[in-house]
């Protein structure tokens, strides 16, 4: 596995993108809306990873609830794996708890989230990119 991205919840995506681009001299940014999660994301490309800024697009979005209870900030880390299905089964065998099933994510990925109680308070996403 490798770190795929770090996701940060923000109230205003366009303002946050400008700040991050200026602070880290980032040239390449992709925008996408993930309807299933109710978020608009900006993917900022670094040399060896990415930062994903997320803004809710509807009141039922988990990111909207996160912002209301915790405010802006680190939401989750994402780990890339080649075989998400087998990793989930292996992890479940080790007692790791998940928040839901594997589902479509941004950029054609398959994703699932590991319950923060399984990782000492950190929300983690497993993702698998299309081949």
For residue 113, what are the contacts with CB-CB under 8 A and spacing of at least 6? Answer: 76, 98, 99, 100, 123, 124, 125, 126
* 70-77 average pLDDT score: 97
Comparing C-alpha atoms, which of 78, 86, 112, 108 is closest to residue 2? 78
Q: Is the pLDDT at 130 greater than 90, yes or no?
A: no
Domain span at residue 41 reads 2-128
Residue 96's pLDDT is 97
> pLDDT higher for 97 or 129?
97
Provide the pLDDT confidence category of residue 15 given band limits of 50, 70 and 90. Answer: very high
Is this prediction's pTM over 0.75?
yes
Q: Count of CB atoms within 10 A of residue 46's CB?
A: 12
Residue 94's pLDDT is 95
Residue 108's pLDDT is 86
**How many domains would you assign to the chain?**
1
* CA separation for the pair 95, 34 (Å, rounded): 29
pLDDT digits (tens, 9 = 90+) for 27-58: 889 999 988 889 999 999 998 899 999 999 99
Q: Is the pLDDT at 131 greater than 80, yes or no?
A: no
CATH code where residue 21 lies: 3.10.180.10
pLDDT digits (tens, 9 = 90+) for 83-118: 999 999 999 999 999 999 999 888 888 999 999 999
């Amino acid at each position: 596995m490798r770190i795929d991205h770090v996701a940060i919840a923000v109230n205003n995506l366009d303002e946050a993108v400008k700040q991050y681009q200026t602070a880290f001299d980032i040239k390449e940014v992709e925008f996408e809306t993930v309807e299933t999660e109710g978020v608009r994301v900006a993917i900022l490309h670094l040399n060896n990873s990415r930062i994903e800024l997320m803004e809710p697009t509807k009141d039922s979005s988990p990111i909207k609830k996160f912002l209301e209870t915790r405010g802006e900030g680190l939401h989750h880390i994402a780990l890339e794996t080649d075989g998400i299905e087998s990793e989930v089964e292996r992890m479940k065998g080790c007692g790791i708890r998940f928040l839901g099933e594997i589902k479509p994510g941004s950029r054609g990925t398959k994703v699932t989230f590991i319950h923060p109680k399984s990782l000492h308070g950190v929300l983690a996403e497993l993702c698998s990119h299309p081949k």
